[in-house]
Amino acid sequence: MKKVYLETFGCQMNVSDTERVATQLESNNYEIVPNEEAADIVLINTCSVREKAEHKLYTRVGQVRNSGGKKPIIGVLGCVAQLEGETLFKKTQGVDFVLGTQAVGRVTSIIERVLEGQKQISDLGVREENYDWNTLETQRHSPFVAFVPIIEGCNKFCTYCIVPFSRGREKSLPADVVIRQVKNLRNEGVQEVHLIGQNVNSYRPQTVSGLEGFTGATPFSKLLRAVAATGIPRIKFNTSFPRDFHPDIVDAINENENLCNWVHLPVQSGSDRILKAMRRGHTIENYLQRVDKIKSSKRKISLTTDIIVGFPDETQEDFADTVKLVEYCEYDSAYIFKYSPRFGTPAAEMQDTLTDVEKTNRFIALENVQKRNQTKSLKSFENSTVKVLAERKSNKPADNFFGHTTCHKIVNFVSSKDVLGKIVDVKITEAKSNTLFGIIC
């Protein structure tokens, strides 16, 4: 039995693809192993969203190739594979095959071709071919939490972003398939599902099948209500795109306890001028209308975001607008990135006016503002009781559990009872940087 080690970089979509790849390989008599030492085959699922993420691939291929042990077959999957195709064989030594995001369903057959002696093969084909991707049961990164893709690809073409090129056009999964998957997961003991996609709000299945009888201003809010009706204890979703984020989503959250109180709403910049250059299709005014709707909700909904600093031609004033916005929104957490030009995107043709030092300085300044807010928000949890899904148990220190609240805060807590996989009440005793600490009630 050939042993396969899988390594994943990047977003939840990549994690989800890796889970499906693992399932497919296991059902074809491959063994998935936890590290590369014993592996006959090493698969690297790559991310290309920023240059740094892409470089990780080159570093890792070098490490695997020069590790000194047996020389495994190396396969590159994911976004870098889709974008680079055969050029990867020139850019890095030792890669045996390249399998794009659109062809990942054919992982077993490409490995077989390499085992038969074919060299340097690349498959970037069409995702639907030969493969019923939607109905596959998948391996999971946790027995209690599952990612369920509902829409793949992106049609937005924000000027800085490579994703529409690496993941292709939007394709929504049929609602009845999503609902059936969630029901199956619930029956298997999964407590929390994440409905995932680059832009979940533009979910548009080809038929209404599965959504009949559910109200909603958009197919996505209908889907949220339909998934809530399965009775799965927790539903989270991301990523939301501001322009398509309909206020009805907040109503659906308020109506259904199992729709979790967390919205990830990337803003990218606080300056209308930069948002226009990014071709985001929203202004700060209409972004804030969404934020105000979220903040005025009956349930306290946590709000998180993504921000890019140092976009071409971002002036000190534009940056000051971003700082102002972050102060106003009081995000529960924010992923802040330095702009990284991606070859082939319109922004890469714009003059990158800032030096790396300037971008770093803005990054640090914004991080400091964010950290201050975040600490305030976390401190407000001290002495309160929150519901936590116990996702992992660690024995060092003993009786320690790790999980998330419904609003997606990380919690470490102590319990002498084994509560793994259960949603339990935890009294928060301390808040530190990104994590809450507590004791089971």
User: Can you give the binding site for ligand SF4, defined by CB under 6 A?
Assistant: 154, 156-158, 161, 163-164, 198-199, 241
- Indicate the Cα dihedral angle 152, 158, 161, 164, nearest 10°: 30
Are 85 and 53 in contact by the 8 Å Cβ rule? The answer is no
- Written as one string, the DSSP assignment of 249-282 is HHHHHHH-TTB-SEEE---B-S-HHHHHHTT-S-
Residue 131 binding result from ligand 5AD, ligand SF4, none, given CB thresholds of 5 to 8 Å by partner type: none
- Partner interacting with residue 415 (select from ligand 5AD, ligand SF4, none; CB below 5-8 Å by kind): none
> CA–CA separation, 346 vs 157, rounded Å?
9
C-alpha 153/C-alpha 133 separation (Å) is 15
We find the least distance from the C-beta atom of residue 333 to ligand 5AD, in angstroms, to be: 13
Least Å distance between CB 174 and ligand SF4? 22
* Interaction partner, residue 122 (ligand SF4, ligand 5AD, none; CB < 5-8 Å by kind): none
Q: Under the rule (CB under 6 A), what is the footprint of ligand 5AD? A: 49-50, 160-161, 266, 268, 306, 308, 337, 339-340, 342
Nearer to ligand SF4, 243 or 371 (CB): 243
Closest CB to ligand 5AD among 122 and 268? 268
What is the nearest approach in angstroms of ligand SF4 to the Cβ of residue 164? 5
- The least CB distance from residue 105 to ligand SF4, in Å, is 22
The entry of ligand 5AD, ligand SF4, none that residue 339 binds, CB within 5 to 8 Å by partner kind: ligand 5AD
Q: How far apart are CA 9 and CA 266, in angstroms?
A: 20
Between CA 145 and CA 195 the distance in angstroms is: 11
Q: How far apart are CA 395 and CA 393, in angstroms?
A: 7
Of 162 and 426, CB closest to ligand SF4: 162
The listed partner (ligand 5AD, ligand SF4, none) that binds 340, CB under 5 to 8 Å by sort, is ligand 5AD
Residues whose CB falls within 8 Å of the CB of residue 248, separated by 6 or more in sequence, listed in order: 216, 217, 218, 221
- Tell me the two tokens of residue 341: 């030009």
Residue 237: CB minimum distance to ligand 5AD, A: 15
Residue 337 binds which entry of ligand SF4, ligand 5AD, none, with Cβ cut-offs from 5 to 8 Å by kind?
ligand 5AD
User: How far is Cα 330 from Cα 377, in angstroms, rounded to an integer?
Assistant: 8
Q: Taking CA 178 as the corner, what is the angle to CA 31 and CA 256, rounded to the nearest 5 degrees?
A: 120
| Cβ proximity to ligand 5AD, 154 vs 249, nearer residue | 154
Q: Which is nearer to ligand SF4, 224 or 347 (CB)?
A: 347
CB of 136 to ligand SF4, least distance (A): 24
Closer residue to ligand SF4, CB minimum distance, 22 or 162:
162
Identify which of residues 45 and 122 has a Cβ nearer to ligand 5AD in the complex: 45
198 binds, among ligand SF4, ligand 5AD, none (CB under 5 to 8 A by kind): ligand SF4
Gyration radius of the chain over CA positions = 22
Three-state secondary structure call for residue 47: coil
Q: Which is nearer to ligand SF4, 11 or 440 (CB)?
A: 11
Q: What are phi and psi of 141, to 5 degrees?
A: -70, -20
Binding at 308: pick from ligand 5AD, ligand SF4, none (beta carbon under 5-8 Å per type): ligand 5AD
Helices (H), 239-398: 248-255, 272-277, 284-295, 316-329, 356-379
Instruction: Give the shortest CB-159-to-ligand SF4 separation in angstroms.
Output: 9
CA atoms within 13 A on the CB side of 171: 11
**Nearest residue to ligand 5AD, using CB?**
306
| Amino acid type, 293 | K
Question: Which among ligand SF4, ligand 5AD, none contacts residue 154 (Cβ within 5 to 8 A by kind)?
Answer: ligand SF4
Minimum distance, C-beta of residue 430 to ligand 5AD, in the bound complex (Å): 31
Q: How far is CA 199 from CA 114, 163, 260, in A?
A: 36, 11, 18
Tokens at 380, concatenated = 């407000």
Q: How far is the CB of 203 from ligand 5AD (least distance, A)?
A: 18
With contact defined as beta carbons under 8 Å apart, do 121 and 89 qualify? no
The answer to whether residues 173 and 220 touch, using CB atoms and an 8 Å cutoff, is: no
